[in-house]
Amino acid sequence: MKKIATGNKAVAEAVKQVQPVVIAAYPITPQTEIVEQIAKFVSTGELKSRYIPVESEHSAMAACIGASVTGIRTFTATSSHGLLYMHEMTNWAVGARLPVVMANVNRSIGPGWNIWAEHTDAMQERDTGWLQVYVSTVQEAYDATLMAFRIAEHNDLLLPVMVNLDGFILSHIMQPLDTVEIGDFIPPMHLPHAIDPKNPAGYGGLTGPDQHFKFRWDIERSMRDSVKIIETTEEDFAKRFGRKYGFTEDYRCEDADVVVVSMGTLGKEAEVAIDMLCKEGVKAGSMRLRWLRPFPKLDLKGKEVVVIDRDYSFGFGGILAKSIQAQQKTDVYSVIAGLGGQEVTYEDIADFIRKRRIGEEFWFGVSDHV
């Protein structure tokens, strides 16, 4: 069904179709519309979930964990400080191997209070074991949320999945949305280690060094297996509903001499910049990284690479730039742009590409080359 929706509403729409049994969430700008919409769906009976209006994000994730371990589907949504407050429990969800799905509306971290788009919130979760996908359109927010449940709950994976959408730039803008009848795209959830008083077991108790590392390795093994699960899920989605996704969205990369890599809405903006540059005779392409975890093997061989980070690791660099540099074993031009919702236009992106200085870092709007 075709409609017009915001990114937030698209997420709520997907959740409505998936019908989690328990949803626990705490409001935070700019995620609020997701919980409001969910509460509305629950009140009208369109969503049969139990909605737990918890008193904090830490409790939101704890409630999802407690619910999920009984073998039922769960969902939560947050943003920025909410995600950071949840951090202890996001780790717990991974170690407990629970397929919780969460939408995170990317927003900067204070102080000072800034409610606008930045990826630093989710980036601080990158080592927890959550799978992370970053979307760029309202349609993709919807599609990725649907797929997140099937991926997370896959019995060869059983790890939580986070769907990231840029605060305001995507959460609050209206775009066309084509909703689908999901049918049997997402099978009923089956949790092999679900709590059962008839078959009592201890969960998450004291674990010695001789066992702990095995559980850690098991998480990594599943994370590696997730590549195939993501691929088959996205293939099946394309087959059923006609929209194809991948680990990256590559735009005019094939013949490009220079490729700009970014995540989220910046990736869509970059496509306009690429068209502009190609008209000027610059052989440029855009690669929008969709999955941050598992981090895909990128095909950038023989290209000059410009990376735009909407995040930063102080004392280290742009997190995406450094990751790509490490994987490709080559220098990149690292642009730090869009922090705290700073406006970055396609013209700015074209400029980053034109004026690239491989091996250097550039803070857009702040300084000259460092």
Partner 1 sequence: MLKCTSACAGCSDSLALRYVLKAAGPDTVLVVPACCTSVIQGIYPKTAFNIPVYNIAFGAAAACASGMSNAFRASGKKTNVIVYAGDGGTLDIGIQAMSGAFERGTDFLYICYDNEAYGNTGMQRSGGTPMGARTTTTPTGKTDAKKDIDAIIAAHNPPYMATACAAYPHDLFKKVQKALTFRGPSFIHVLAPCPPGWRYSTEKSVEMGKLAVKSGMWVLYEREYGKLFINPESKVAMKKPIPLEEYLAPQGRFKGIDEKTLEMLRQNIAKTVKKLAAEEAEE
Least CB distance from residue 208 to partner 1, whole Å?
A: 6
Residue closest to 137 by CA, chosen among 245, 264, 3, 288: 264
Beta carbon nearer to partner 1, 110 or 204? 204
- The least distance separating partner 1 from the CB of residue 68, rounded to whole angstroms, comes to 8
| Distance separating alpha carbons of residues 209 and 215, to the nearest angstrom | 10
Nearer to partner 1, 72 or 238 (CB): 72
Min. distance of Cβ 360 from partner 1 in angstroms? Answer: 43
Query: What's phi and psi for 188, nearest 5 deg?
Result: -60, 145
- What is the C-alpha separation between 321 and 319, in angstroms, rounded? 6
Q: Give the three-state DSSP class for 345.
A: coil
Q: Which residues bind partner 1 (CB under 8 A)?
A: 21-22, 24, 50, 52-56, 58-60, 62-70, 72, 74, 88-89, 92, 195-197, 200-208, 211
- Give the nearer residue to partner 1 in terms of CB position, either 70 or 232: 70
Which residue lies nearer to partner 1 by CB, 92 or 237? 92
DSSP 120-156: HHHHTTTTTT-EEEE--SHHHHHHHHHHHHHHHH-TT
Q: Which is nearer to partner 1, 198 or 239 (CB)?
A: 198
Q: Which is nearer to partner 1, 73 or 290 (CB)?
A: 73
- Tell the smallest beta-carbon distance from residue 270 to partner 1 (Å): 40
Nearest approach in angstroms of CB 212 to partner 1 is 9
Amino acid present at 65: I
Q: How far is the CB of 370 from partner 1 (least distance, A)?
A: 40
At residue 259, the 3 state secondary structure works out as strand
Contacts 24+ apart (CB under 8 A), 226-231: 226/131, 226/151, 226/157, 226/159, 226/294, 227/294, 227/296, 229/151, 229/154, 229/156, 229/157, 230/131, 230/151, 230/291, 230/294
